[in-house]
Amino acid sequence: MLRRRHLLLSSVLALGISPLVAQSPAAGTTLTISIAGTLGPILQGSDPLNLNGQAGSLSLTVNEAQTPVAQNGSTVTYRLAPGNVTLLVGRTPFTTTTQSKLRIQLESTADILELEYLGQKGTIDKLTAYLAPGSWTTAILMHPTVFSPSPQPVTAATTAGGPGTQLKYADSGIVTVLGLGGAISNSSGN
């Protein structure tokens, strides 16, 4: 009798968990998000690194099976391993050597990607990209997943901290914010 109950309970649990397992991404699947464009205009600061007008690109990778470190309403935060963020501004490449933070906010006016990472000067740099509203489904709140359409244009911000895509960096105590206009894309694969 006890064996039959155990078998029945195991069967019920297996059937209940099966749909959840089917929805979870494969552990070896990597999401890559890339943004490329031109930096500028200067929205704040004096741009001591002379990045205004330079071509810039950023790429981040994250395992799609990863779970969030925080989730609050329609905002989710993921940690990225060292080396999972790479940048190229002008001819200067940079790869992170510490963890980075990826935050996605689903809002009615835009889906907002925020990436914070330890920059070359040892300060927390931040990229903010505004995507079309509804680019991500709510699945992003459980696991990193692709957005659509891809690619899609991103428009440079016109005010620091305002809507639009922008890059914030610090150098010698000077905080600079630059707009960034271009395109953002993503792909999923092994």
Burial of 73 (0-12, 13-18, 19+ CB in 10 A): exposed
pLDDT at residue 34 is higher than 60: yes
- What is the spatial distance between Cα 113 and Cα 60, in angstroms, rounded to a whole number? 12
What structural domains does the chain harbor?
Answer: 27-189 (2.40.160)
pLDDT band of 79, cuts 50, 70, 90: very high
Mean pLDDT confidence for 31-39? 98
Task: Say what the alpha-carbon torsion angle 141, 145, 147, 153 is, to the nearest 10 degrees.
Answer: 100
Residue 63 pLDDT: 96
Say whether 21 sits in a helix, a strand or coil.
helix
pLDDT band of 29, cuts 50, 70, 90: very high
Candidate from 1-5, 33-37, 63-67, 82-86 with smallest mean pLDDT? 1-5
- What is the spatial distance between Cα 99 and Cα 105, in angstroms, rounded to a whole number? 20
pLDDT band of 27, cuts 50, 70, 90: low
Candidate from 25-34, 57-66, 109-118, 160-169 with smallest mean pLDDT? 25-34
